[in-house]
Amino acid sequence: MTTTAPLLPALTARVRAQAHARSAACPCGAATLADRPDATVVRHGEVVAKAHAPGTDADALAHRLAFTARLPGVLLPPLAPAPAELHGRLVTCWPYGTPVDPDDPDAAPWEAAGALLARLHRTPAPATLPPMRGPAKAAAALARLRRSAPRHPDAAPVLRAWAALPAWARGEDAMPDTGTPCHGDFHLGQLVRHPTAGGPWLLIDVDDLGRGVPAWDLARPAAWYACGLLPPDEWTRFLAAYRAAGGPAVPPAGDPWPALDVPARALTAQTAARALAKAVAAGRPLDEVERCLVDACARMPSVAPGGPA
């Protein structure tokens, strides 16, 4: 499913105008980087325009942009302080940054990621910053699974793992920490290189940015490590860099899992739910990675809280 017909050409025209306004020597040529129901992203030269999901709250997005602009060495700063509207969608513009190369896992910047998240988590959060959307996003993935494949045999362990989580992790209650700024959807795809913006690697994508539990930002790597999908040395590099930079999500030494357990279980259930829903929609069996995630959900009831599944 792609976006409505008028939006993509209008977004392309918008990003072209932004790129030409910033540089007379713009290397012309537009490319669609993403075209999904929740986001359409177009690049022209050194500028990227993003149409955010339908129904995105304009005030909340404006507060997220304002906070982002305050941390140019951590978050990629937007090119405008407030979103514009285009065909009923909120649109933001950004400098283009080079993403992590998915074909070169040995070059994954785990140390940079850990340090950036630690700096983000140590920054005072303004009261105007909205809540982090991680639990709400996870809840949406589980709701999609219930709608699309509630009787699939692999849905049961995922739904049981989700139901066993505390209410805050399921987006049904306030988070226990509401004073720490969090990215809300961290993975390596949320890093780009853009040296002129303040550093060699920066975090991108502010849709889920907000005040919340900082361990949520460590939860996806933690979940992949616990599922056997992230090598131990890469997890260790990431965690060590986060701790060395004074990140508050886990203790500075010792066992990190008491702090990571609930968010890691939530991210495992979310990722498994999304994978299963996609597989059912495509009419195909689960692949090896997807099977690992569902199997981890099945093991969760037998694993005591505080340790990897």
Average the pLDDT over each of 21-30, 47-56, 86-95 and give the range with the smallest value. 21-30
Residue 161, SS3 per DSSP: helix
Report, at the CATH architecture level, how domain 105-302 is classified.
Alpha-Beta Complex (3.90)
Beta strands across the sheet bearing 98-99: 98-99, 191-194, 199-203
Q: How far is CA 295 from CA 161, 226, 247, 291, 298, in A?
A: 11, 12, 31, 6, 5
- Read off the tokens for 105: 């896992």
Per-residue pLDDT tens over the stretch 145-161: 999 988 899 999 999 99
Q: What percent of the chain lies above the pLDDT cut of 90?
A: 72
Residue 1, SS3 per DSSP: coil
Please give the biggest Cα pair distance in the chain: 62
The predicted pLDDT at position 198 comes to 47
Q: Which residue has the tokens 């004073």?
A: 179
What is the rounded average pLDDT of the residues 191-210? Answer: 84
Residue-averaged pLDDT of the chain: 90
Contact at 8 Å (CB) between 84 and 150? no
Q: How far apart are CA 136 and CA 118, in angstroms?
A: 23
Per-residue pLDDT tens over the stretch 90-123: 999 999 998 998 888 788 999 999 999 999 999 9
The pLDDT-based confidence of 9 (bands split at 50, 70, 90) is: confident
Per-residue pLDDT tens over the stretch 223-254: 999 999 999 999 999 999 999 999 999 999 99
The predicted pLDDT at position 61 comes to 97
Contact at 8 Å (CB) between 270 and 142? yes
The predicted pLDDT at position 303 comes to 80
The predicted pLDDT at position 175 comes to 96
What is the rounded average pLDDT of the residues 34-60? Answer: 90
- Closest to 203 (Cα-Cα) out of 116, 279, 300, 86: 116
Per-residue pLDDT tens over the stretch 248-266: 999 999 999 999 999 999 9
Q: Which residue has the tokens 């060699």?
A: 200
- Read off the tokens for 298: 């099945």
Q: Which residue has the tokens 């290189």?
A: 193
Which residues, 6+ apart, have CB-to-CB distance to 125 below 8 Å?
67, 179, 180, 181, 211
The pLDDT-based confidence of 38 (bands split at 50, 70, 90) is: confident
The predicted pLDDT at position 30 comes to 74
The predicted pLDDT at position 13 comes to 73
Q: How far apart are CA 71 and CA 289, in angstroms?
A: 35
The predicted pLDDT at position 1 comes to 40
Q: How far apart are CA 251 and CA 274, in angstroms?
A: 31
- Closest to 279 (Cα-Cα) out of 186, 144, 165: 144
Sign of CA dihedral 78, 83, 86, 89: positive
pTM of the complete model beyond 0.85: yes
Q: How far apart are CA 62 and CA 82, in angstroms?
A: 5
DSSP secondary structure string for all residues of 35-88: EETTEEEEEETTEEEEEPPTT--HHHHHHHHHHHHT-TTTBPPPSSSS-EEETT
The yes-or-no verdict on residue 80 having pLDDT over 80 is yes
Please provide the distance, in angstroms rounded to a whole number, between the alpha carbons at the two ends of the chain: 34
The matching CATH number, chosen from 3.30.379.10, 3.30.200.20, 3.90.76.10, 3.50.50.60, for 7-95 is 3.30.200.20
The predicted pLDDT at position 14 comes to 76
Average the pLDDT over each of 46-50, 61-65, 90-94 and give the range with the smallest value. 46-50
Q: How far apart are CA 7 and CA 87, in angstroms?
A: 6
- Domain ranges across the chain: 7-95, 105-302
The pLDDT-based confidence of 290 (bands split at 50, 70, 90) is: very high
